[in-house]
Chains A and B, each alone.
Chain A
Amino acid sequence: MKNVVTHRKFQRYSALAISPLSIWIVYSIICMKGSSFQETYNWFSNPFNAFFMAAFFIISFLHLKLGLQIIIEDYVHNLKHRSLTILSINIACYIFAGIAIFSILTMLF
Protein backbone atom coordinates (compact mmCIF):
# COMPACT_ATOMS: atom_id res chain seq x y z
CA MET A 1 0.00 0.00 0.00
CA LYS A 2 1.60 3.25 -1.14
CA ASN A 3 -0.51 5.94 0.57
CA VAL A 4 0.37 6.12 4.29
CA VAL A 5 -2.97 7.55 5.28
CA THR A 6 -4.91 4.70 3.65
CA HIS A 7 -2.39 2.26 5.10
CA ARG A 8 -3.11 3.58 8.59
CA LYS A 9 -6.88 3.51 8.07
CA PHE A 10 -6.83 -0.09 6.90
CA GLN A 11 -4.59 -1.11 9.76
CA ARG A 12 -7.00 0.39 12.32
CA TYR A 13 -10.18 -0.92 10.66
CA SER A 14 -8.76 -4.43 10.30
CA ALA A 15 -7.76 -4.33 13.98
CA LEU A 16 -11.31 -3.34 14.87
CA ALA A 17 -12.70 -6.23 12.82
CA ILE A 18 -10.31 -8.85 14.19
CA SER A 19 -11.05 -8.17 17.87
CA PRO A 20 -14.59 -9.65 18.01
CA LEU A 21 -13.51 -12.45 15.68
CA SER A 22 -10.62 -13.44 17.94
CA ILE A 23 -12.85 -13.43 21.01
CA TRP A 24 -15.12 -15.81 19.11
CA ILE A 25 -12.13 -17.99 18.13
CA VAL A 26 -10.79 -18.24 21.68
CA TYR A 27 -14.32 -19.10 22.80
CA SER A 28 -14.49 -21.81 20.12
CA ILE A 29 -11.13 -23.25 21.19
CA ILE A 30 -12.46 -23.56 24.73
CA CYS A 31 -15.68 -25.20 23.54
CA MET A 32 -13.94 -27.63 21.22
CA LYS A 33 -11.23 -28.84 23.55
CA GLY A 34 -10.77 -32.58 23.40
CA SER A 35 -13.12 -32.97 20.43
CA SER A 36 -12.60 -35.76 17.91
CA PHE A 37 -11.71 -35.39 14.25
CA GLN A 38 -15.33 -35.77 13.16
CA GLU A 39 -16.53 -33.12 15.61
CA THR A 40 -13.91 -30.66 14.45
CA TYR A 41 -14.66 -31.37 10.81
CA ASN A 42 -18.38 -30.90 11.42
CA TRP A 43 -17.73 -27.63 13.17
CA PHE A 44 -15.97 -26.37 10.06
CA SER A 45 -18.72 -27.55 7.72
CA ASN A 46 -21.23 -25.33 9.50
CA PRO A 47 -21.65 -22.36 7.08
CA PHE A 48 -21.74 -19.85 9.94
CA ASN A 49 -18.42 -21.06 11.36
CA ALA A 50 -16.89 -21.37 7.90
CA PHE A 51 -17.83 -17.81 7.00
CA PHE A 52 -16.39 -16.26 10.14
CA MET A 53 -13.27 -18.42 9.99
CA ALA A 54 -12.67 -17.25 6.42
CA ALA A 55 -13.28 -13.65 7.42
CA PHE A 56 -10.85 -14.03 10.30
CA PHE A 57 -8.10 -15.36 8.06
CA ILE A 58 -8.52 -12.74 5.33
CA ILE A 59 -8.62 -9.77 7.70
CA SER A 60 -5.80 -11.14 9.87
CA PHE A 61 -3.53 -11.57 6.87
CA LEU A 62 -4.33 -8.01 5.78
CA HIS A 63 -3.48 -6.70 9.25
CA LEU A 64 -0.33 -8.83 9.39
CA LYS A 65 0.85 -7.63 5.98
CA LEU A 66 0.33 -3.96 6.89
CA GLY A 67 2.02 -4.35 10.27
CA LEU A 68 5.04 -6.20 8.96
CA GLN A 69 5.48 -3.62 6.22
CA ILE A 70 5.96 -0.91 8.86
CA ILE A 71 8.49 -3.04 10.75
CA ILE A 72 10.47 -3.80 7.59
CA GLU A 73 10.47 -0.11 6.63
CA ASP A 74 11.83 0.70 10.08
CA TYR A 75 14.68 -1.77 10.12
CA VAL A 76 15.66 -2.60 6.53
CA HIS A 77 17.33 0.47 5.05
CA ASN A 78 18.60 -0.89 1.75
CA LEU A 79 15.78 0.02 -0.67
CA LYS A 80 16.20 -3.07 -2.87
CA HIS A 81 16.19 -5.44 0.09
CA ARG A 82 13.28 -3.57 1.61
CA SER A 83 10.94 -3.85 -1.37
CA LEU A 84 12.02 -7.44 -1.93
CA THR A 85 11.22 -8.40 1.68
CA ILE A 86 7.87 -6.63 1.59
CA LEU A 87 7.03 -8.27 -1.72
CA SER A 88 7.82 -11.76 -0.43
CA ILE A 89 5.77 -11.14 2.71
CA ASN A 90 2.85 -10.08 0.54
CA ILE A 91 3.15 -13.16 -1.65
CA ALA A 92 3.37 -15.44 1.40
CA CYS A 93 0.26 -13.78 2.83
CA TYR A 94 -1.72 -14.42 -0.37
CA ILE A 95 -0.55 -18.04 -0.55
CA PHE A 96 -1.41 -18.84 3.06
CA ALA A 97 -4.73 -17.00 2.93
CA GLY A 98 -5.46 -18.99 -0.23
CA ILE A 99 -4.66 -22.30 1.50
CA ALA A 100 -6.93 -21.33 4.40
CA ILE A 101 -9.86 -20.45 2.15
CA PHE A 102 -9.34 -23.56 0.04
CA SER A 103 -9.38 -25.78 3.16
CA ILE A 104 -12.47 -24.11 4.57
CA LEU A 105 -14.29 -24.51 1.26
CA THR A 106 -13.37 -28.22 1.02
CA MET A 107 -14.91 -28.85 4.41
CA LEU A 108 -17.97 -26.77 3.62
CA PHE A 109 -18.88 -28.72 0.46
Chain B
Amino acid sequence: MDTIENKTNKRPLSPHLQIYKPQITSILSIFHRFTGVFLAFGLLLSVIFVFFTAMGEETYKWWNCIVNSLVGKGLLFLWLLAIIFHALNGVRYFLWDNDIGMSIPSVKWSGLFVCVLTLVLTCVLGILIWM
Protein backbone atom coordinates (compact mmCIF):
# COMPACT_ATOMS: atom_id res chain seq x y z
CA MET B 1 0.00 0.00 0.00
CA ASP B 2 1.22 3.47 -0.84
CA THR B 3 0.30 5.17 2.41
CA ILE B 4 1.86 8.50 3.36
CA GLU B 5 4.12 6.79 5.93
CA ASN B 6 5.23 4.31 3.34
CA LYS B 7 6.18 7.07 0.96
CA THR B 8 8.02 9.02 3.64
CA ASN B 9 10.08 5.99 4.60
CA LYS B 10 10.90 5.24 0.99
CA ARG B 11 12.37 8.68 0.39
CA PRO B 12 15.90 8.46 -0.99
CA LEU B 13 18.84 10.30 0.52
CA SER B 14 20.31 12.95 -1.76
CA PRO B 15 24.00 12.54 -2.70
CA HIS B 16 26.47 14.32 -0.41
CA LEU B 17 30.17 13.39 -0.36
CA GLN B 18 29.63 11.98 -3.86
CA ILE B 19 28.81 15.36 -5.39
CA TYR B 20 30.06 18.12 -3.09
CA LYS B 21 33.02 19.95 -4.59
CA PRO B 22 36.08 19.62 -2.34
CA GLN B 23 36.43 22.82 -0.30
CA ILE B 24 39.80 23.84 1.11
CA THR B 25 37.92 24.36 4.38
CA SER B 26 36.69 20.79 4.76
CA ILE B 27 39.83 19.24 3.27
CA LEU B 28 42.10 20.87 5.84
CA SER B 29 39.66 19.90 8.58
CA ILE B 30 39.65 16.24 7.59
CA PHE B 31 43.42 16.35 7.21
CA HIS B 32 43.71 17.72 10.75
CA ARG B 33 41.72 14.74 11.93
CA PHE B 34 43.71 12.31 9.82
CA THR B 35 47.08 13.59 11.05
CA GLY B 36 45.73 13.44 14.60
CA VAL B 37 44.94 9.74 14.26
CA PHE B 38 48.27 9.12 12.57
CA LEU B 39 50.08 10.86 15.44
CA ALA B 40 48.19 8.67 17.88
CA PHE B 41 49.83 5.62 16.30
CA GLY B 42 53.13 7.50 16.30
CA LEU B 43 52.76 8.05 20.03
CA LEU B 44 52.25 4.31 20.58
CA LEU B 45 55.40 3.58 18.57
CA SER B 46 57.42 6.08 20.58
CA VAL B 47 56.24 4.44 23.80
CA ILE B 48 57.55 1.16 22.40
CA PHE B 49 60.84 2.86 21.55
CA VAL B 50 61.28 4.19 25.09
CA PHE B 51 60.32 0.81 26.49
CA PHE B 52 62.83 -1.03 24.29
CA THR B 53 65.58 1.39 25.26
CA ALA B 54 64.80 0.82 28.92
CA MET B 55 64.90 -2.97 28.42
CA GLY B 56 68.53 -2.94 27.35
CA GLU B 57 70.88 -2.98 24.40
CA GLU B 58 69.48 -6.05 22.65
CA THR B 59 65.93 -4.79 22.19
CA TYR B 60 67.23 -1.30 21.43
CA LYS B 61 69.34 -2.58 18.51
CA TRP B 62 66.46 -4.58 17.19
CA TRP B 63 64.36 -1.44 17.23
CA ASN B 64 67.10 0.64 15.67
CA CYS B 65 67.16 -1.73 12.69
CA ILE B 66 63.50 -0.98 12.03
CA VAL B 67 63.94 2.79 12.41
CA ASN B 68 66.90 2.83 10.00
CA SER B 69 65.10 0.75 7.39
CA LEU B 70 63.41 2.46 4.48
CA VAL B 71 59.95 1.87 5.95
CA GLY B 72 61.08 3.29 9.29
CA LYS B 73 62.51 6.38 7.66
CA GLY B 74 59.39 6.86 5.59
CA LEU B 75 57.18 6.60 8.65
CA LEU B 76 59.35 9.03 10.59
CA PHE B 77 59.14 11.49 7.72
CA LEU B 78 55.34 11.19 7.63
CA TRP B 79 55.29 11.60 11.41
CA LEU B 80 57.26 14.81 11.04
CA LEU B 81 54.85 16.04 8.37
CA ALA B 82 51.85 15.11 10.49
CA ILE B 83 53.05 16.73 13.70
CA ILE B 84 54.05 19.94 11.95
CA PHE B 85 50.74 20.21 10.12
CA HIS B 86 48.68 19.32 13.20
CA ALA B 87 50.53 21.91 15.29
CA LEU B 88 50.40 24.71 12.72
CA ASN B 89 46.77 24.06 11.86
CA GLY B 90 46.03 23.92 15.58
CA VAL B 91 47.12 27.55 15.78
CA ARG B 92 44.27 28.42 13.41
CA TYR B 93 41.79 26.83 15.82
CA PHE B 94 43.22 28.95 18.65
CA LEU B 95 42.84 32.11 16.61
CA TRP B 96 39.27 31.17 15.63
CA ASP B 97 38.39 30.55 19.27
CA ASN B 98 39.40 34.14 19.88
CA ASP B 99 37.31 35.37 16.96
CA ILE B 100 40.35 36.07 14.77
CA GLY B 101 40.57 35.23 11.07
CA MET B 102 37.08 33.84 10.60
CA SER B 103 36.24 35.51 7.31
CA ILE B 104 36.38 33.31 4.22
CA PRO B 105 39.38 35.14 2.68
CA SER B 106 41.44 34.81 5.87
CA VAL B 107 40.40 31.17 6.30
CA LYS B 108 41.59 30.35 2.79
CA TRP B 109 44.72 32.42 3.12
CA SER B 110 45.71 30.95 6.50
CA GLY B 111 44.96 27.43 5.26
CA LEU B 112 47.24 27.85 2.27
CA PHE B 113 49.90 29.41 4.48
CA VAL B 114 49.79 26.43 6.85
CA CYS B 115 50.17 23.98 3.94
CA VAL B 116 53.16 25.77 2.46
CA LEU B 117 54.85 26.27 5.84
CA THR B 118 54.30 22.59 6.68
CA LEU B 119 56.03 21.44 3.50
CA VAL B 120 58.94 23.84 3.95
CA LEU B 121 59.48 22.98 7.63
CA THR B 122 59.18 19.24 6.99
CA CYS B 123 61.81 19.37 4.26
CA VAL B 124 64.18 21.51 6.32
CA LEU B 125 63.87 19.29 9.40
CA GLY B 126 64.05 16.14 7.27
CA ILE B 127 67.36 17.35 5.86
CA LEU B 128 68.62 18.15 9.37
CA ILE B 129 67.72 14.64 10.57
CA TRP B 130 69.01 12.58 7.68
CA MET B 131 71.90 14.62 6.23
Interface residues of A (CB under 8 A from B): 12, 15-16, 18-19, 22, 26, 29-30, 33, 37, 40-41, 44, 53, 57, 60-61, 64, 67-68, 71, 96-97, 99-100, 102-104, 106-107
Contact = CB atoms under 8 A, between A and B. Distances in A.
B35 to A, nearest CB: 11
B47 interface: yes
Taking chain B's interface residues, is the majority helix, strand, or loop, or is none over half, making it mixed? helix
A40 B43 contact: no
Interface of B: 33, 36-37, 39-40, 43-44, 47, 50-51, 53-55, 57, 60-61, 80, 83, 87, 90, 93-94, 97, 125, 128-130
Given A53-B50, A100-B47, 14 more contacts: A12-B93, A15-B90, A15-B94, A18-B87, A19-B90, A22-B87, A26-B125, A37-B60, A41-B60, A57-B50, A64-B39, A68-B37, A96-B44, A103-B55
